[in-house]
Structures are given as C-alpha cells and as structure tokens.
C-alpha cells in the first residue's frame, strides 16, 4: 500500500491563505460515529489552528453518509451569525464513513454520496463542499485515517476548505 506508515495530514500554516475571517460549516454523519467524531475533531482543531474563529465553525449532524448531501445543501443555503451580521458560509465540509459490508449497499452509498457532493459543488450557491467521506474496506482502515497512522482526513479536509474558500472569495 502506497500510504503504509505515512501520516498524510501534515500542513504548513505559513503557506495557507488567511483564514481569520472564514466561516466554515461541517456536516457530520452519525453512522460510524467513533470514526466521524475523530474526523470532526481533526477538521475543527485544524481550522482553529489555522486562524478560523471557533465561533465561526458551524456543525450539523445527520443520520448517515447518504444524508450528508441534504445537510450540506441546507448549510449552503443558510446564513449564520449570532453576535455578527448573518452571512453565508465560505465552505462546507462533509464528514462521513462508509465501511464495506457483505452486500452492494456500500457501492450504492459511496456512489450516491460522491455524486451528490459533486453536484453541490456545481450549484448556484458557489459555496464549495469538501468531500471528507472515508470509503474503506475495513474498520481498521477507517481508524488509520481518522487520527491513526495515516493521520486525519478531517485535518486534510479543513486545509482543502481554507484553500477553496480563498479561491471562492478571490
């Protein structure tokens, strides 16, 4: 395996765009909650580490990975703010985990989520949606990618969100 023994989540804060004014939504699937919660923690801590105000990070939970599409669309269409004037988000991160089972269900869910999130990136809101859905064969692979030996894909998604938000705002 090409990723054996490698932590793929390292990033250089100095090379990233300014994230201090960004507003980021994170939609988290409850299915495989131990995995998705670790991905969320990785995304959240990376966003804060890179300068995003913790109060400018908005979370929404959905039952499973297939429901991420609807949750992300709702976030794209909504405005957020309590102490600040409400405004749209700069990016949304979709966090889920689908682990292969004994039936074709895995293939249908993975294809549907991938296609749905792609479609959200083409819609009129122009708010990028970052794909952070693990599609692994085993639970061990998911653990390795959600804070284990291969780092945390949530952290990688946070970096992608910062970069795509900067592109959107340029």
Residue among 6, 105, 118, 126 flagged as catalytic: 105
Secondary structure (3-state) at 67: coil
Main-chain phi, psi angles of 103, to 5 degrees: -120, 175
51: left (phi over 0), alpha (psi -120 to 50) or beta: left
Active site residue 150: no
Return d(Cα 65, Cα 28) in angstroms, integer.
8
Instruction: Point out the residues that are catalytic.
Output: 105
């Amino acid at each position: 395996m090409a990723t054996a023994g490698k932590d793929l989540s390292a990033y250089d804060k100095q090379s990233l765009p300014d994230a201090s004014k960004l507003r980021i939504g994170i939609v988290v699937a409850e299915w495989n909650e131990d995995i998705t919660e670790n991905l969320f923690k990785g995304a959240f801590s990376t966003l804060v580490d890179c300068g995003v105000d913790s109060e400018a990070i908005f979370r929404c939970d959905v039952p499973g990975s297939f429901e991420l599409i609807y949750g992300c669309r709702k976030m794209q269409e909504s405005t957020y703010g309590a102490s600040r004037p409400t405004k749209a988000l700069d990016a949304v991160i979709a966090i889920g985990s689908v682990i292969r089972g004994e039936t074709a269900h895995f293939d249908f869910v993975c294809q549907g989520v991938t296609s749905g999130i792609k479609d959200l990136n083409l819609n009129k809101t122009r708010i990028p949606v970052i794909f952070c859905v693990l599609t692994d064969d085993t639970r061990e692979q998911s653990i390795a990618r959600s804070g284990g030996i291969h780092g945390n894909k949530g952290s990688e998604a946070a970096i992608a969100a910062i970069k795509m938000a900067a592109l959107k705002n340029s």
